[in-house]
Amino acid sequence: MIIGVPKEIKIHEYRIGMTPTSVRELTVRGHTVLIETDAGKAIGYTNERYTAAGAHIVSDVYQVFATAEMIVKVKELQPAERALLRQGQILFTYLHLAPDLPQTQDLLKSGAICIAYETVTDDKGGLPLLAPMSEVAGRMAIQAGATALEKSHGGAGVLLGGVPGVVPAKVVILGGGVVGSNAARIAIGMRADVTVLDKNTDTLRKLDSEFKGAAKLIYSTAETIEHAVLDADLVIGGILLPGAAAPKLITAAMIKQMKAGSAIVDVAIDQGGCAETSHATTHSSPTYIVDDVVHYCVANMPGAVARTATQALNNATLPFIIKLAEQGYAAALNNDKHLRKGLNVFKGQLTCAEVGQAHGLPTISAEQALSADRA
């Protein structure tokens, strides 16, 4: 198979779909990998390193899309890239379609086979291709929040961990999954006053066993969320409903009542955000203020630590890339129910029910789409 890896063009996005190590795994199997020139240069992956791994360096993105049978990326296609997608071409990347109707419509029109990292599953019910970036984002969220609380960034001038004789900041984490648990570990390590809310009691028990009293673990309801958020110095939004838009757990009315100079880091912004006042920001302009509350809503947080993030992501995606290349999309999707869960768009049809519900669009199951394709 011919696999194409274009340079990411989202603002301040320095990750790349495949490392030189991953490329070598494909080329030694006889596959062709096209890398857009300088696509990995910003994180130390030079053209020479890719050439040594067996890749072909191509001069521009048009050649990548025109030649490749499968496109491997990190972030969702931007409008200019979506115009290059071909019918029957495989797209393997993060999509986050639920809050993005224009992208959904463009992918449907393309006739491509679009597989989303964030909805691929595993035997344990987890999301193995989302987890590495959720780990990174969860850990980064506390760094970002600590900075947002500084006076020079619009915050109240609060040190997250306090000092002897001064109480630490109150950190409230909505969601105890991969993002929330990683955020909690860092916040606890910085000696903040940490509260985690989740509606899964098994999750709360697991965190209780790990943290051994170092964090308050509370069952999530509308009342407990409101009480915790209004008392918080820093709120981390780590809510995830796979494939679906994030629920708006923090209302605009709650924002008005929060402490002046408090902060929100809305990690759920890729799926629309869990605060009504959230909208996506970029690494070049990461925050804004609503009702004296600092909002950090960068939609590609791991892009700030692009080298670490790229390596972590490739560790998870490489087995699926190999499977798609070795077997082709039809056999790979039919034989692997977990990869099949990642299928969001198939040759003009929407195959993710959660995205369909978010946009009011008709869907069919991945199984139905693949069956009709065989016929």
> How many percent of the chain have pLDDT more than 90?
95
Tokens of 166: 């001064």
CA 319 – CA 321 distance, rounded (Å): 6
Q: Name residues of the chain where pLDDT drops below 70.
A: none
For the stretch 300-329, pLDDT in tens is 899 999 999 999 999 999 999 999 999 999
CA 205 – CA 302 distance, rounded (Å): 28
CA 84 – CA 64 distance, rounded (Å): 9
Burial 56-72 (b: 16+ CB within 10 A, else e): eebeebebbbeebbbbb
Tokens of 24: 């070598």
Tokens of 185: 């570990």
pTM for the complete prediction? 0.87
CA 330 – CA 355 distance, rounded (Å): 22
Residues recognised as catalytic: 96, 270
CA 333 – CA 310 distance, rounded (Å): 24
User: Which residues, other chains included, contact 255 with Cβ-Cβ below 8 Å and sequence gap of 6+?
Assistant: 264, 275, 276, 277, 290, 291, 293
φ, ψ dihedrals at 235, nearest 5°: -115, 130
For the stretch 143-163, pLDDT in tens is 999 999 999 999 999 999 999
